[in-house]
Amino acid sequence: MKSTNSLASSLRVSYTILLISSLSFLTIILTFSKEINQYFSTSSKVFSESVIFSNLAAAGAIVAGNAIFSKEIADIDVLDEDEKHLTFRKAMFNQFLLTDIALFLFGILLVALHKGLFMAETLAIFGYQLSKYPTNKRLARLLKLQR
């Protein structure tokens, strides 16, 4: 059995890599925004439809991610320590990927439509992902670790 500190550290490293990948995607699409923008229509109808669709999709992704995360770690207290970390890692990864879909959607719409609303929503999703970072306190609470 691995030590709790090394498993917690590996969870943090995994999550940090996921955050860096999201930030890298946003950096790349913002860098090439002029080249990408020429392929998109910017009419007000497209904007209004995009706002409705993207917000519904983002809300759905966050709710689904939280539901899947909660379901996967519901009975985590009956597992041994290694299984707890494996289960938590899987649940964390699934939750992150669902919120990442919303982040990518807002990032693409930001580049395509050049509206500040999508920048705010992109940053809000990234902030939400940061709030789910596996700190020691959060891991102890969710994994129900014995100290």
Contacts of 102 by beta carbon, 8 Å cutoff, 6+ apart: 54, 57, 58, 61, 62, 125
Report pLDDT digits (tens) over 113-134. 777 888 899 999 999 999 999 8
DSSP 147: -
Strand intervals (E) in 1-143: none
* Encoded tokens for 100: 């990442």
Residue 51 scores a pLDDT above 80: yes
pTM for this entry: 0.81
What angle, rounded to 10 degrees, do the helices at 81-113 and 4-31 form?
A: 10
Residue 2 scores a pLDDT above 60: no
- d(Cα 1, Cα 7) in Å, to the nearest integer? 10
- The answer to whether the Cα torsion of 57, 62, 66, 68 is positive or negative is positive
